[in-house]
Amino acid sequence: MKKKLLAFVLCLAMVFSLAACTTGTTEPSGTPSASPEGTEATGGVSGTFTGSSAGMQGTITVEMTVENGVITNVELTECHESAGVCDVALERIPQQIVEHQTTTLDTVTGATFASRGIMMAAEKAAEAAGLDMDALDANAYSAQPGEAETWDADVLVVGGGGAGFSAAISAAQDGAKVILIEKSSFLGGNTMMAGGAYNAVDPEAQANMILTEAQKNTLDGYLALDPSDPALKLDVFPEWAEVLKQLQQDITDFYAANEGKTPGVDMPGFDSVSLHMWHIYTGGLREMNDGTWIASDIDLARTLAESALDTFSWLSSIGVDATVGADAGASMFTVLGAMWPRTHPVTSSTALVEALEAAAEAEGVEIYTETAATALLTDDTGRVVGAQAEQADGTEITINTTKGVVLACGGYCANPAMVKEYDKYWGDDLSDHTLTTNVGTNEGDGIVMATAIGADVTGLEVAQMMPSSSPLKGTMTDGIWGDASEQLWIDGNGNRFVDEYAERDVLAKASLALDNGIFYIVYAGPADENGVCKGATLETPGMGGTVADMVEGGHIWYGETLAELAEASATSAGGAAPAFTEEALRNVIETYNSYVENQEDPDFHKEVLSGAIDLDYIESTEGVGICISPRKASLHHTMGGLVIDTNACVLDTEGNAIPGLWAAGEVTGGVHAGNRLGGNAEADIFTFGQIAGHSAAAAE
């Protein structure tokens, strides 16, 4: 029964190509081409034929071998689908076409568009071969349920993403027998989409960094804050006043310890638990459309800020490429919407999930994919004692537990109708069909199952939108950009329109107000040690391949001079996209460069400024250029979900812990309030996943 991720060498997607195969709107289509290598034989045609169709990430081409009218082999000769996410579909669908002599099969859970793309490409090849299409249709195959099964464990973990793996590994390390089930055909969930950004307060790393003048100005601003300022809403959420008081004391102590040092020269970086908590509070403090306000639960926020670094070290101990302390200083950055350079890079999402799977297997965790939990089981006292589940072929599974269940099955951004139903924030910016960055299986299953037995929820009225998504797919692929402090965003007229260092909902709202909600990120490469961007090459990796790959796919524009870049924008999308003039591009870049030099942004008051673009170097150096990525906001993260306490226990509507039920990750609410900071998701899922696992294993 155990299913592992299958490697498929023909699909060499870049590590950043993390689009869910079930998101998007393009239906498979294509034109057949035939390349017969054999001769017609008695009983039917023989030869090799090709057909192509559209997948999620580009064209899928299959080569079909036919002998005497019988399909004997189907091989993918062109594939751009995401590694890890679509592996099962890329392996299974060709095999089943041969086995069942049909191009009509079940799609693979979590890889719908890849599955359809392969089947449609095979159909085109079959048409080119002149096969009897009615006979192929008559052979349509759908898997049939097996006999119902019963499994036993101490702890059941529902969800195979970062939170689920953390819970499973932690519970197993504590001696529990653990079963982990995953609805999709692949492991990783939204962790496969996350991009590897992890926020943690890391004083040793900060000591190896230099505090910029802009950061110093920000800290001075925090010192000047008055708790009675109505804008801070401390009258509504008075518990947070103590955090501001502690932050101001931390900053004062930091200045005293570094008296005589100069920001931007020799003053070390600064961070503290209070600063991270204050960012969680202000970053998530939001007013809903009905006039109510929402803020993070202070206890959950403190648990996250205080525990994130230890959790990151724990990830390193189980085989994840995670660096903390002095060695992390050179690599820490500010992911989009993080508000401070405390973001630790994590190994590629594919490698991260592989490391988690290996660690879980080493601890004896039993892992089942394509197995969706459908209901929680309770005894006469109301204690959760297991779950009902259903496998992709319809086989019913009963899972009995001696300790209980951990829900870690994600949010509901792939269910835009559910987001819209509860929304009190975005209004007309949302619809029942808004695209998402998420895997297609994130539909709110865990919330539905838990509320059915009395669990409470919080924060469902607001979901986060990722501003820098693909305009066509909603995914975080097909683009290129850098650290939030280096990013330069322009509208269709070539003008900056927002503080690029702001929170994600601020960025999304500003961008959605533009024509068609589309904006453009100007990219010239990561800043060097002097904070200067010196250009990108065609080999520079981005979100979904190299610059060359994305230029060829029509996703970004590239030029070795501003004149070439302007020309590329003018000829893009058949002229449907705006054409930026060389003059407009030069003006906005040079103006931004002056703000970086002066460490002051009079237009939008960007707090942390870096990444001046060295146009002289770029335009005088062969093979070095500059890019523009068109972007549009899409649904990214649901902040609301099940109410939990600091032990990850799920609470009922009376505020009592439901015995035998814990939850972690995006299925929960209360941590992020109205807006999640970029980089806090992975800190959240791993920290509370670990807590949930320990809590479940300790249950009597």
Cβ proximity of 333 and 343 under 8 Å: yes
Residue-level pLDDT at 40: 40
Q: Which of 92, 286, 496, 504 is catalytic?
A: 504
- Residue pLDDT, tens place only, 61-112: 999 999 999 999 999 999 887 777 888 999 999 999 999 999 999 999 888 8
Tokens 């509504």 belong to residue: 236
157, two tokens: 């973990």
Residue-level pLDDT at 677: 94
How many Å apart are CA 517 and CA 208, to the nearest integer?
Answer: 40
504 included as an active-site residue: yes
| Relative orientation angle of helices 582-598 and 562-571, to the nearest 10 degrees | 130
679 sits in which H/E element: none
pTM equals: 0.82
Q: Please name each of the domains of the chain with its CATH number.
A: 47-138 (3.90.1010.20), 150-195+336-462+639-698 (3.50.50.60), 208-305 (no CATH), 467-635 (3.90.700.10)
How confident is the model over 290-312, as a mean pLDDT? 97
How many Å apart are CA 217 and CA 214, to the nearest integer?
Answer: 5
344 DSSP β-pair partners: 198
Cβ burial, residue 201 (10 Å; 0-12/13-18/19+):
buried
Cβ proximity of 338 and 201 under 8 Å: no
Distance of CA 529 to the CA centre of its chain: 28
pLDDT band with cut points at 50, 70 and 90 for residue 3: very low
Residue type, 126: A
Cα-based distances in Å from 228 to 110, 231, 285, 296, 620: 50, 9, 16, 19, 54
How confident is the model over 269-277, as a mean pLDDT? 98
pLDDT band with cut points at 50, 70 and 90 for residue 556: very high
Residue-level pLDDT at 43: 52
- Residue pLDDT, tens place only, 568-594: 998 765 445 678 999 999 999 999 999
Q: Helix (H, G, I), strand (E, B), or coil: what is residue 402?
A: strand
Residue type, 548: A
Q: What are phi and psi of 175, to 5 degrees?
A: 100, 5
Q: Using only the alpha carbons of the chain, give its radius of gyration.
A: 26
Residue-level pLDDT at 576: 53
- Residue pLDDT, tens place only, 442-486: 899 999 999 999 999 999 999 999 999 999 888 888 899 888 899
pLDDT band with cut points at 50, 70 and 90 for residue 12: very low
366 DSSP β-pair partners: 179
pLDDT band with cut points at 50, 70 and 90 for residue 440: confident
Cβ proximity of 294 and 459 under 8 Å: yes
Residue type, 380: D
Cβ proximity of 538 and 558 under 8 Å: yes
- Residue pLDDT, tens place only, 276-295: 999 999 999 999 999 999 99
Q: How many CA atoms lie within 13 A of 421 on its CB side?
A: 8
Tokens 């004997």 belong to residue: 72
How many Å apart are CA 276 and CA 344, to the nearest integer?
Answer: 14
Residue 496 contacts by C-beta under 8 Å, 6 or more apart in sequence?
A: 488, 489, 490, 588, 591, 592, 603, 604
Q: Which of the residue ranges 54-58, 351-355, 493-497 would you say has the lowest mean pLDDT? A: 54-58
**DSSP 8-state class, residue 667:** G
